[in-house]
Amino acid sequence: MLSVKGLKANVGDKEILKGLDLEIGRGEVHAIMGPNGSGKSTLAHVLSGREGYTVTGGSVTFEGQDLLDLEPEARAHLGLFLAFQYPVELPGVNNTYFLKAALNAIRKARGEPELDAVSFLRLMKEKLKVLHLDDSLLKRPVNFGFSGGEKKRNEIFQMAILEPKLAILDETDSGLDIDALRIVADGVNALRSPERSVILVTHYQRLLDYIQPDYVHVLAKGQIIRSGGKELALELEDKGYGWLGAEEAA
Amino acid sequence: MSASPAVEAIVESEYEHGFITEIESDTFLPGLDEGVVRAISARKGEPEFLLEYRLKAFRHWQTLATPRWAHVHYPEIDYQAISYFSAPKSKDGPKSLDEIDPALRETYNKLGIPIEEQMALSGIAVDAVFDSVSVATTFRTKLAEAGVIFCAISEAVHDYPDLIKQHLGSVVPHTDNFYAALNAAVFSDGTFVYVPKGVRCPMELSTYFRINARNTGQFERTLIVAEAGSHVSYLEGCTAPMRDENQLHAAVVELIAMDDAEIKYSTVQNWYPGDAQGRGGIYNFVTKRGDCRGARSKISWTQVETGSAITWKYPSCLLRGDDSVGEFYSVAVTKGRQQADTGTKMIHLGRNTRSTIVSKGISAGEGQQTYRGLVRIAAKAQGARNHTQCDSLLIGDRCGAHTFPYIEVKNPSAQMEHEATTSKISDDQLFYCRSRGLTTEDSVSMIVNGFCKQVFNQLPMEFAVEAQKLLSISLEGAVG
Ligand SMILES: Nc1ncnc2c1ncn2[C@@H]1O[C@H](COP(=O)(O)OP(=O)(O)O)[C@@H](O)[C@H]1O
Ligand SMILES: [Mg+2]
């Protein structure tokens, strides 16, 4: 589904990703762990097409398509979704309206009929229920005045509505209490299907108690330095990153 | 629906309503002197008092110089190069829609304002001003049953001369300013609304303006009188065809609200802003003022301004009656080479008077925008309150926003609040929207509409939708 080969990317003239390889198969859940500043968010941003990064080498294909040539919205249309580490506030933009516009933009790009207001509302109610979220969320402006936890939950809610083929969750678990963590985990688990893949970027093993990853990778100094199964996460929790020689100087 | 921006399919960024209707006009040669003022009055068969009023205004205007204080730049206007009268040829007013010139109706259709549909669907009475003379007035009967007068001011002059004599110029005197004096001397036509005591106007009153004849300045005159305990909502929407010469527009709007009366005046203004170099746009120099003459009266201005090359406009409220309320909600967009110097004046004279100002300025391209607001609390205005919120949104880094709040407080009991912010659409916001599948343009439009929401919420629903569409269209290509 996603194939990253030798990816190198700069911010300004600083090289952050230094030849990164990653293969994600259909239906798989991959956890990417690594110390602060190792390039996890950079990877997520480069994959979703954020400006300000220069790709200097390597390739990324998503379902056979060259992803790096595409605008961010085109990547979303293909089924890529990024849950932001720091969700952005959109004052005055109604959450429901925003999501409906996004979903219909994606459906339109795929040649599917747009959802009318009634069907969309039904979909929202259904997803709220699955995630045990309060419907006051729908009436508020996107992330505006939300607490940290609410913002993260809203990201998961958006993911649930947009039903991406590949969701990248950038530290969605950090700063969450146990209840909120469960909601996030429920959201991801509900989305899990043989058709969908997930990249969980996380700092802690904690999230992996709720979401069983198929693979765990350690990202350090701009490269995947170690890959393994779930047991790798436990090992990391025990020993820290130091034993891999992955502790960042920065 | 009203809360959601109707982001329409992306169309040409060129001015959408820029076409010129072919219709035979009866137009005066350019130039202005006493003879022209007399001729306008004669052509309209006006009573003596009105001719005298015009002449007095004209003589006063001749002593005035063009105001220079606004933060706008444009070449000197040659007032002798403008024609001061233009009327569609069909002489007698139509009795029904069938009698309306087909070319004119075609124009409305192009503008997306099918009158029949509006009549049927929304129950809005439409008094369409085409050039200088009203040619379509609808729903008059239904309004008449309620006792509401809604007609061309030129008709009102004949049919209700006492009301006109009593109120015309009582809020904006002919001596008020250069453009008000000019308007008083040569005003072509406009709208008169009279709502009798205790009457709640049964429908939104709406006038669509359209500047059409080449080189003809437009000098509309609007007068709305709401008697004690009455209520009226008036919608004004404007579009104009594309053209080369700059066109002067100097309207005067006077509102009068007696005890417990309420007037809501909403404007969506979309005049031709000029081409990419700023050539050919409309100059919009307007004097709008509401007089809260009665106790507990309320006047509310809501405006969405996206058009014109230059806008010079300060809808104001004179809060004379005790406990009266003045409101000003504004969205103004300047892009390309557009310039706007706009804002409001809230003059607190009565006790416990309250005013609210919410101004949202959006600048893109090389647009320059100035907010100029005056809040004056007179010595007698015990317990007056004002809340001002003035937000600017910049798109790109070649545009500008300037804020000039003037505050004069003569009574120590006044409560004043002033908030001002300037922000930019951030890359973070754009990326966030795009990562959810929205195009850059839809993202900008959504963020901008969110920024303006407080103002759009004040508009009647059909208008809010139209305003959001307009905003989206006018900001196409503003980013990236
Ligand atoms: N916009 C930026 N400008 C400069 N440096 C940046 C920028 N974004 C990230 N970096 C740097 O890139 C490195 C990786 O950052 P990031 O991808 O956010 O790490 P992680 O998400 O793993 O904590 C850090 O050293 C960080 O300081
Ligand atoms: Mg990060």
At residue B154, the pLDDT reads 86
Sign of CA dihedral B56, B61, B62, B64: positive
B335 Cα–ligand 2 center, Å: 37
Chain A nearest-CA residue for B451: A92
Higher pLDDT, A123 or B102: A123
B3 neighbourhood in chain A, CB within 8 Å: 94, 97
Chain A nearest-CA residue for B7: A101
Contact state of A90 with B450 under an 8 Å Cβ cutoff: yes
Chain B nearest-CA residue for A78: B437
Q: Atom 16 in ligand 1: which residue has the minimum CA distance?
A: A39
The average pLDDT across B454-474 equals 80
The percent of residues in chain A predicted with pLDDT above 90, rounded, is: 69
Nearest to B431 among A50, A77, A109 (CB): A50
Nearest to B435 among A52, A76, A99 (CB): A76
Look at residue B441 and tell me whether its pLDDT is greater than 60: yes
At residue B120, the pLDDT reads 32
Look at residue B458 and tell me whether its pLDDT is greater than 80: yes
Look at residue B366 and tell me whether its pLDDT is greater than 70: yes
At residue B178, the pLDDT reads 92
At residue B136, the pLDDT reads 41
Tell me which fold the domain A2-93+164-244 belongs to. Rossmann fold (3.40.50)
The average pLDDT across B294-307 equals 93
Contact state of A97 with B3 under an 8 Å Cβ cutoff: yes
Band (B314; pLDDT cuts 50, 70, 90): very high
At residue B93, the pLDDT reads 43
At residue B242, the pLDDT reads 43
At residue B25, the pLDDT reads 57
Interface of A with B (CB under 8 A): 48-52, 71-73, 75-77, 81-82, 84, 87-94, 97-99, 101-103, 105-106, 109, 141, 158, 162
Least confident interval from A130-139, B208-217, B397-406: B208-217
At residue B478, the pLDDT reads 65
What does the pLDDT look like over B150-195, one tens digit per residue?
A: 888 888 999 999 999 999 999 999 999 999 999 999 998 888 999 9
A39 Cα–ligand 1 center, Å: 6
Domain boundary assignment for chain A: 2-93+164-244
Higher pLDDT, B107 or A81: A81
The percent of residues in chain B predicted with pLDDT above 70, rounded, is: 77
Ligand of minimum distance to the alpha carbon of A32: 1
Nearest to B432 among A71, A81, A88 (CB): A88
The verdict on the CB of residue A36 being under 6 Å from ligand 1 is yes
At residue A178, the pLDDT reads 86
Distance CA B15, CA B474 (A): 8
Chain B nearest-CA residue for A48: B435
Contact state of B429 with A90 under an 8 Å Cβ cutoff: yes
The verdict on the CB of residue A42 being under 6 Å from ligand 1 is yes
The pLDDT mean for chain B works out to: 80
Look at residue B115 and tell me whether its pLDDT is greater than 60: no
List, for chain A, all residue ranges whose pLDDT scores fall below the cut of 70.
245-250
Domain boundary assignment for chain B: 5-313
A246 Cα–ligand 2 center, Å: 16
| CA-based nearest distance B408→chain A, Å | 32
What protein residues have CB closer than 5 angstroms to ion ligand 2?
A 40-41, 85
Question: Nearest to residue B248, comparing CAs of B272, B268, B218, B220?
Answer: B218
What does the pLDDT look like over B416-432, one tens digit per residue?
A: 999 998 888 888 999 99
Higher pLDDT, B205 or B474: B205
What burial class does residue B163 get, using C-beta atoms within 10 Å of its C-beta: 0-12 exposed, 13-18 middle, 19+ buried?
middle
